[in-house]
Structure 1
């Protein structure tokens, strides 16, 4: 059984030093910026799933999951679904699970899958008893924070990488088939 044979898989290549530095710099700068924006403004710019977004933005920036459309709309859509479920159905364990499933399906359907965004309904529904959520949460921290992450990723990824980032921005209609 191949599953139990340790060492039979091939690990990915070890990242280059510049790639490690890009992840270190990008993640640090992004979270530090969101924290300072939160401290020096009257609004929140940061939430826990943004840490995972930084991993994707700075460690695998060429992935479709790391493109601005996916980061911004993935977070926005999944947080919206979390808020809708909270307002309509409350915060039971079944509703929480269903909200995450619906967020995943919506991101797939709208072609903006961003795995860290799948945590947004969890953040909303698991903390609903401590936080009074309203739809302004979509602006601060969800939209403002995800746009800030994209701006920082643009600067860091294009400064340090030989690959241009992003591969695409916010394309909505790209279904034309090449003949």
Structure 2
């Protein structure tokens, strides 16, 4: 009986040699369902599939880092991974801001007989954006001029319709944020232009010229100074 079984098995191996030489792993690769079962068994998750994986993760305390919430005090700390600025990175933007305000002050002296001024608070915020964070979205030329002109015009329109007061300021600020969002031109300093016009009696005579002066006109000068600051930061490091 044993001899017959051995002869039968050798006979089948002789007729079908590829079946005898096929390994379980190779056979599993020929059948997607079998390969899935073999893979699950090799990983130790033969029962329950993904549910078993989740249970094992919970059991062993494995938590994905993306699901970890940042501590509430994280935003009060400096940005991680950012290198300390060099001395030149501090000096050149500061020198650019000094030069900008000095030139604007000189222009004010020339324009004083006409009762207008170029030195307004929003341009100080523009200096910080252009000189300190030149690669930020707010420093893009499209964002800056679109927001400066649009928000200034909104301030004039709000004052013309609603007059001075809290309602005009509230409407102008809300409309300015909506305008910058719709036109994809975020530039925070421009949001102060409508409030400056509504509360500044000396600017009312400009009417819709306020959309170009002094905000947009001042930004042209600041863009020229920004190019000088960037050149100095790139070529004169210390």
Which bin holds the TM-score, normalised by the shorter protein? 0.7 to 0.9
Q: Give structure 1 stretches of 5+ with no counterpart.
A: 163-179
Contact residue 71 and residue 150 of structure 1 kept, 8 A: no
- Does residue 26 (structure 1) correspond to residue 96 (structure 2)? The answer is yes
**TM-aligned CA deviation for residue 8 of structure 1:** 8.6
Q: Comparing both chains, which one has the higher relative contact order based on Cα–Cα distances under 8 Å and sequence gaps of 6 or more?
A: 1
Question: Which residue does the alignment assign to 2:105?
Answer: 35
Tell me whether 1:84 sits opposite 2:154 in the alignment.
Answer: no
Following the alignment from structure 2 to structure 1, what is the Cα–Cα distance between the partners of residues 171 and 219? 24
Q: Secondary structure at the match of 1:132?
A: helix
**Rounded Cα–Cα distance in structure 2 between residues aligned with 1:49 and 1:76:** 13
**Matched-pair contact (CA < 8 Å) for 1:49–1:120:** yes
Q: Distance in 2 between matches of 1:35 and 1:121?
A: 22
Q: Which TM-score applies when normalising by structure 2?
A: 0.60
**Greater percentage in helix:** 2
Determine the C-alpha separation between the residues in 2 that align with 1:8 and 1:74: 28
Query: Which deviates the most, 8-17 or 107-116?
Result: 8-17
Q: Pick closer, same or farther for the CA change 1:91–1:161 going to 2, 3 Å.
A: farther
Deviations 1:100-139 (A, max 9, x none): 11111111211221101110111111224x5434122223
Q: Give the gaps of 5 or more residues in structure 2.
A: 1-69
Q: How many angstroms apart in 2 are the aligned matches of 1:77 and 1:123?
A: 14
**How far does residue 89 in structure 1 lie from its aligned partner after superposition?**
1.5
CA apart distance, 1:15: 2.1
Q: Which residue pairs with 2:78 in the alignment? A: 11
Mapped partners of 2:160, 2:75: distance in 1: 49
CA distance in 2, matches of 1:105, 1:126: 21
State which drifts further: 135-144 or 71-80.
135-144
Q: CA deviation at 1:9?
A: 5.4
Given candidates 177, 184, 196, the residue that maps to 1:111 is: 184
Instruction: Write the deviation string for residues 43-99 of structure 1: whole angstroms up to 9, x where unpaired.
Output: 532211000111111111111111222222211111110001101111221221121
In the alignment, the residues of structure 1 paired with residue 106 and residue 216 of structure 2 have an alpha-carbon distance, to the nearest angstrom, of: 17
CA contact 1:77–1:106 (8 Å) conserved in 2: yes
Q: How large is the Cα RMSD of the aligned pairs? A: 2.3
1:72 aligns with 2:139: no
Aligned residues: 159
Partner residue of 1:132 out of 204, 223, 237: 204
